[in-house]
Structures are given as structure tokens and as C-alpha cells.
Amino acid sequence: QVQLQESGGGSVQSGGSLRVSCFASGFRNSNYCLGWFRQVPGREREVVATIIPLSGATFYAGSVEGRFTMSQEKDYGKNTVYLQMNSLRPEDTATYYCALRPTMKREECRVLDGTIEYNYWGQGTQVTVSS
């Protein structure tokens, strides 16, 4: 059973940094995408960053490119992914979720427009950036 658990959210002033983590477990191979998403109440959820676990290749939304970095510590049947967030802005305030999509098509991990469905989700962690 696939499970994801985020941790590490909090509050920071504008310009500061935070790192959120997600421990993913319960899968038997590396044929999946992992992604970080965020959502503000009343707005659509947006993709922040994704990773192809087999290669470690990462992809970022334009709004966070150059400020956020996604990384992983992968092992058999589990993976911890991190999202290092620097130069935070008030508009980065949101609940951050990690999610997993089982797939044989690695190119799906590159898709950042929200059209690829992720099947498993964590409970989310709040990030608040004050001005």
C-alpha cells in the first residue's frame, strides 16, 4: 500500500528558506513519478516540481524555477523527497502536498500543467510566508 507523509512546513519571513520532506513507501519498483503540489483555499492546486526517480531529473514550475530545488533519497520500496525552498515570497504561502503516480512512461513526470493525474497523496503541510 502506497503511503506518503509530508513534514517540515512552517512559517518564515519573506526572503527566508524552508525545506519540506515527504516519505513515500509501499511500492515495489521505480516506475513512478513523484511531485510536489501546492494549494491555497479557493484556488486550483498547482504543480510545483516533479522528479523522475530513476534518473533524478527534476522539473519546476516557472514561478519557482531558480528558487526551489527538489531532491530525493531513494531506496528499494521507499523514497524520501525534499523540496528546498529559498527566497520565499508571500505568494508561496500554501499547503504543500507530495503525490505519486505509478507509470511506465517517464515522460509523464515532465508534465507540469496539471493534466497528469497523481494517484496517491500525502496529507499536506502548511507553509506560510509573511511579508
58-94 confidence digits (pLDDT tens): 999 999 999 999 999 998 889 999 999 999 999 999 9
pLDDT tens profile 9-66: 999 999 999 999 999 999 888 899 999 999 999 999 999 999 999 999 999 999 999 9
Contact predicate 121/95, CB 8 Å: no
From the centroid of its chain, how far is CA 102? 15
DSSP assigned state of 10: E
Is the separation of the CB atoms in 97 and 37 below 8 Å? yes
The strand pairing partners of 37, in sequence order, are 47, 97
Q: Amino acid letter at 80?
A: T
CA angle 16, 22, 25 (to 5 degrees): 170
CA angle at 5 for the pair 75 and 130, rounded to the nearest 5°: 120
- Amino acid 29: pLDDT: 85
CB 18 within 8 A of CB 7: no
